Amino acid sequence: MNLDLLNDDVAALLRSGDHRYTTGRRRVVSALHGSDGPVTILDILQLEASLAQSSVYRNLAILEEVGAVTRIVTHDDHARFELTEALTDHHHHHLICTTCGSVSDFELAPDTELTLNQAFAQVSRLTDFTVDSHRLDLLGTCVSCA
């Protein structure tokens, strides 16, 4: 995704939540945009050394609140963050290592994704619950920890 278009979309989300798109938030978004996958706060601080740690925490909380960032919780104390699928148009799932806390993305074949969506639609009908989207996180052990 083009960074200028991403910045426009994030600015609109922030405005809808009565927030401004500050330089610090722009740098956090830029770090997330430039990453290969979900990142920790420490990763963001390495990518954007001019940011204070407290600023990154506050900005991520606001970006998460307005729907620009997704928090991925692992077993350790370090959550991972990524831009939401609504901004990236990249539907994917996560492999989470319960030993080291690493997170990597994976995609399912379209027919498998369709089968999942059909199953979720059935659950929705049976429970009178409106499903907006889904996330699938697989927990296990990565090859480095095996």
- Find where tokens 């922030």 sit: 14
Mean pLDDT, range 36-48, rounded to an integer: 93
What is the H or E stretch that residue 54 is in? helix 53-65
Higher pLDDT, 100 or 18: 18
Asked if pLDDT for residue 78 goes beyond 90, the answer is: no
**Residue 107 exposed, middle or buried by CB count within 10 Å (0-12, 13-18, 19+):** exposed
Asked if pLDDT for residue 122 goes beyond 80, the answer is: yes
pLDDT of residue 113: 95
C-alpha distances (whole Å) from 27 to each of 137, 138, 139, 143 are: 27, 30, 31, 32
Band the pLDDT of 73: cuts 50, 70, 90. Answer: confident
Mean pLDDT, range 67-85, rounded to an integer: 90
Cβ-contact 53, 61 below 8 angstroms: no
Among 11-15, 34-38, 83-87, whose mean pLDDT is lowest? Answer: 34-38
What DSSP state is assigned to residue 120? H
Domains of the chain by range and CATH?
A: 1-89 (1.10.10.10), 91-146 (3.30.1490.190)
pLDDT of residue 17: 95
For residue 125, give every residue at least 6 positions away whose Cβ sits within 8 Å of its Cβ, in sequence order, or none: none
- Percent of the chain, pLDDT > 70? 100
For residue 109, give every residue at least 6 positions away whose Cβ sits within 8 Å of its Cβ, in sequence order, or none: none
The beta strands (E) that lie in the chain are given as 69-72, 80-83, 93-97, 103-106, 137-140
Dist. CA 91–CA 18, nearest whole Å: 28
